[in-house]
Structure 1
Amino acid sequence: MSPTPWKRPCASPRPPCSSGTEGRKPSAPRAMSCKRPGRPLRSSITLLPRQETAMLRSVRKILMRTAFPRNFAVLAAALLCSAALAVSAGAEPPAVTTGLGYKPMVQELCALYAQKSGQKPVEMYNGNIGQMLEQIRAGSGASVVVSDRATLESSNVAFAEFRPLGRAVLMLAWKKGVDIRDPADLKKPEIGSIGYPDAKAAIYGKAAVAFMKGNGLYEELQPRLTMFSTVPQVFSYLVSGNLDAAFVNEALIRKQGGKIGGWMELDKGYEPLFLVAGVVRGHENDPDVKAFLDFLGSPEAKAVCVKNNLRP
């Protein structure tokens, strides 16, 4: 009798077939897993610290340290992700923007809010208020806009509500060596250059043009007029002596008045400038936006607005 030829044993021997299965085509061998028993399944989900509550962090630690059956661990990771997204939807800090003319005041308000609440708002400053509104339309994510109410209401951005901050006034300023006692003095030959902010996008630019037209000055002064993008830009040209006179806001003058020759308040001749904090529609129910608006009504926030020359 010839010996039975030797065969290489299968890495994963199949159990003997039960009766009645002879001739059935065997199934393809199953792939072997290299995963060691008991090895914890580490989730690839990474959450920002502020998106995790204490409970979610505890659940995450359990997933990281405990050995679970694979299907259960995957399910738990998915539930953790869903819960974290739900929590984070209301955990975003308010995103606040304004034109550069009121950037110092808004920065001070945001710093005070962060000090009192422990949550620092996201701050966005990159131009005049018209430019900031266009960025909101493009999806910047700003939830609160500080500007005059008329500008916000006439813009293409939808607002849910407005929180009043105070009334602002237009100022006429002039460089050192120039003497102006009345707005009509702008017609004098020695006043060769007059600056003002963007009349379409900056609230003080709109007010300046309205004032000059209302007082019969615009047509005669037009050859001497130069329009700039923002109030700080106008003021810098005035300080450097490149402008003889300029229309600016009061906040800059009160802080840097020593660098120029003088100024006067223009309280009439244009639509009143009522500054507000406008809530972009869609953010009115955000808890952190509501908290920021409540803060703006506090005595501390009102003191900051008065300090920056807003009138009640």
Structure 2
Amino acid sequence: MLKKTITGIMMICLIAMASRLQASEITIASGAGYKRPLLELISRYEQQTENSVAGVFGNMYQIISQVRMSGKVCLVFGDRKFFDRSDLDFSTFHPIGEGKLVLAYRKGIQLAAISDINKKEITRVGLPDSAKAIYGDAAMQYLTKSGLIASTRGKLLKLSTVPQVSSYLITKEIDAGFINLTDAIGVADDIGGYIVAEPSNYTVVALQAGVIKGFENDPDVQSFIEYLKTKEARNILTKYGL
């Protein structure tokens, strides 16, 4: 009886191992501000296929470094401008949507316009690092073109990523912060609100999925890209403001 039980357990383990060996895994990387929709996309995709997807998130400087060092990242999500400024080799690009800059503010205050950050009671305004993050760059463009940069420079607090700015808003360590609409939707219940920035004051954020050269013929990469074109994937992206 014991022998039969052990044999049964071994068979189950072998079947599980075989299943894992048959399953494929790809690694994608993205700006941290798009973590929520991408995790939802990955979850839905994995439920429908035998493939698995590992996600890496950070500011674009961190992502570019990760792609260079690991050699495993096959697909990168981010702003085309950052792709063009990097020295990464891409084979193809696939449009995902257009990102939107917003000014979010903490609970306990109310802002009617982005220019309200000039108010005396607004003492700290967070933004991602403009040299490393898509929306830090967009925020600095907005502040410069709108003429707000001179009066607000002393209030600005440079942070690493969009989610870090959101986290500081939630804990009320800052009064307001520049993030993307996608993250603002994700934390809407934990902040006071947000104001969409006038798009003419910053360069369009063209979110794309770039395939790293060498992975363009990988069937699992192609499978995930095809999933991104489905109605289900589009609905998820739309839900997050893309």
Q: What TM-score bracket applies, with the shorter chain setting the length? A: 0.7 to 0.9
How far apart in 2 are the matches of 1:118 and 1:51?
A: 9
Gaps of 5+ in 1: 1-47, 54-90
Quick check: 2:24–2:51 contact (8 Å CA) kept in 1? no
Aligned-partner Cα distance in 1 for 2:150–2:65: 30
Deviation at 1:267, TM superposition (A): 3.6
Q: Map residues 122-161 of structure 1 onto 2, 5 A cutoff.
A: 122-125=54-57, 127-161=58-92
Matched to 2:45, the amino acid is Y
Residue segments in structure 2 that go unaligned for 5+ positions in a row: 1-16
**Is the radius of gyration larger for structure 1 or structure 2?**
1
Question: Separation in 2 of the partners of 1:52 and 1:241?
Answer: 47
2:103 paired residue among 133, 149, 172: 172
Amino acid at match of 2:149: Y
From 121, 126, 139, the counterpart of 1:195 = 126
Residue matched to 2:28: 96
Tell me the distance in 2 between the aligned counterparts of 1:200 and 1:92: 35
Following the alignment from structure 1 to structure 2, what is the Cα–Cα distance between the partners of residues 258 and 95? 31
Partner AA of 1:271 in structure 2? T
Q: Distance in 1 between matches of 2:230 and 2:192?
A: 36
Would you tell me which structure has more helix in proportion to its own residues?
Answer: 2
State the secondary structure of the residue aligned to 2:173.
Answer: coil
What is the Cα deviation at residue 161 of structure 1?
0.8
Structure 2 Cα separation of the partners of residues 174 and 261 of structure 1 = 6
Instruction: Write out per-residue CA displacement over residues 216-268 of structure 1, whole angstroms, 9 at most, x where no aligned residue.
Output: 11122111100101111111111211111110121222232232222111141
Q: Distance in 1 between matches of 2:46 and 2:107?
A: 40
2:138 match: 207
Question: What SS class does the counterpart of residue 180 from structure 1 fall into?
Answer: coil
TM-score, normalisation: structure 1:
0.68
Question: Distance between the aligned counterparts of 2:184 and 2:21, measured in 1?
Answer: 46
Deviation at 1:92, TM superposition (A): 5.0
Distance 1:282 1:182, change over 3 A: same
**Alignment correspondent of 1:286:** 218
Q: Is 1:304 paired with 2:236?
A: yes
Higher strand fraction: Structure 1 or Structure 2?
2
Taking structure 2 as the reference length, the TM-score comes to 0.86
Q: Which structure has more RCO (C-alpha within 8 Å, separation ≥ 6)?
A: 2
| Cross-structure match for 1:265 | 196
Q: What's the counterpart of residue 105 of structure 1?
A: 37
1:169–1:267 CA contact under 8 A, matched in 2: no
Corresponding residue SS for 2:208: strand
CA contact (8 A) 1:96 1:145 kept: yes
Q: Which amino acid aligns with 1:196?
A: L
* Per-residue deviation, 1:286: 1.1
How far, CA to CA, are the matches of 2:70 and 2:171 in structure 1?
37
CA contact (8 A) 1:96 1:143 kept: yes
